[in-house]
Structure 1
Amino acid sequence: MMMIFGMFVFSIPTATYQSLQRSTSWNHASNNRFGSMPAYQYVGKGEDTITLDGSIVPEFGQQLSITALRVMGDTGKSFPLIAGNGKIYGMWKLDEVKETQTYFYEDGLPKKVEFSLKLTKTQTAGVLVGNVLGNMVGNVL
């Protein structure tokens, strides 16, 4: 398993990604000053996004994997994102799925499907861990 997003597992039988790009921003309010450069004030975290680029080849993965991701996006919900090494990224929503099909068989099925997913963070990992632990303790009691 490379990574799990909600109940979707990125792996050879489903879909593999070849690149993970993460972008994090911070917000600063600008206050113009007469005769000088603007003053800036930190006002909080901005967006945190991850883009996963990968491919599916019919011999290993299934094109149905892209459909499953689209169904997850249709829910509008956030899902936990956890790396195969156990790193918890937090809660993320699926913003965009791009798909490119190339090299077709005679029946029209693609020999290769490339995809790109854009995820945006909605909650910190600490909140996710706290919620999970809180639920576990609550279920035990």
Structure 2
Amino acid sequence: MASAPILSPAKLLSLGMFVFGMDTAAYSEFQRSQGWRHEGSDRHMARPASQFTGPGEDVITLAGLLVPEIAGSYGALESLVEMADTGGNWPLIDGTGLVLGHYRIDRLNRDHRMVLAGGIPRAIDFSLELTRVD
């Protein structure tokens, strides 16, 4: 009999060796947009014919709030920037161990809020866009 996976609230998702969680960057929103390709051919006096040609884009957007005084770290976002700078792709694995595929980092948006002296934000809203490459 298979046992249920052990879930940890501190580990939400991992992208390669980067683990999204309370001590790094916890996300509060997970959006996934998947598409499938159908190529069309015009036909005389009829609707276009179409043929399924395979999977299309698979894009995941993670969004969250980083508040280093409570949860997360400034360095977590910098680690994601370093990963993106390599142009590589990594396996994306959810907290139950399900492999979602290999994804690359396409975009990281950051909004600094409640900026203190020295330009240090008390909170950072972030969103990360990942695109499947396998």
TM-score, normalisation: structure 1? 0.83
Question: Quick one: distance in 2 between partners of 1:65 and 1:43?
Answer: 38
The 5 Å alignment of 1:1-141 reads 1-59=11-69, 60-123=71-134
Map Cα deviations across residues 23-42 of structure 1 (whole Å, 9 max, x no partner).
Answer: 11111111111112111111
Identity %: 39
Q: Greater share of helix residues, 1 or 2?
A: 1
Any stretches of 5+ residues in structure 1 without a counterpart? 124-141
Aligned position for 1:127: none
Structure 1 runs of 4+ aligned residues shifted over 4 Å read: none
Map Cα deviations across residues 5-26 of structure 1 (whole Å, 9 max, x no partner).
Answer: 1111111111110011011111
Partner SS, residue 85 of structure 2:
helix
Partner SS, residue 86 of structure 1:
coil
Question: Quick one: distance in 2 between partners of 1:83 and 1:28?
Answer: 29
Map Cα deviations across residues 51-77 of structure 1 (whole Å, 9 max, x no partner).
Answer: 001111021211111111010001111
Map Cα deviations across residues 72-105 of structure 1 (whole Å, 9 max, x no partner).
Answer: 0011111011111111112111111111111112
Count of aligned pairs = 123
Question: Quick one: distance in 2 between partners of 1:8 and 1:96?
Answer: 16
Partner SS, residue 17 of structure 1:
coil
Please state how far the C-alpha of 1:107 moved relative to its aligned partner: 3.0
RMSD of Structure 2 on Structure 1 (CA): 1.0
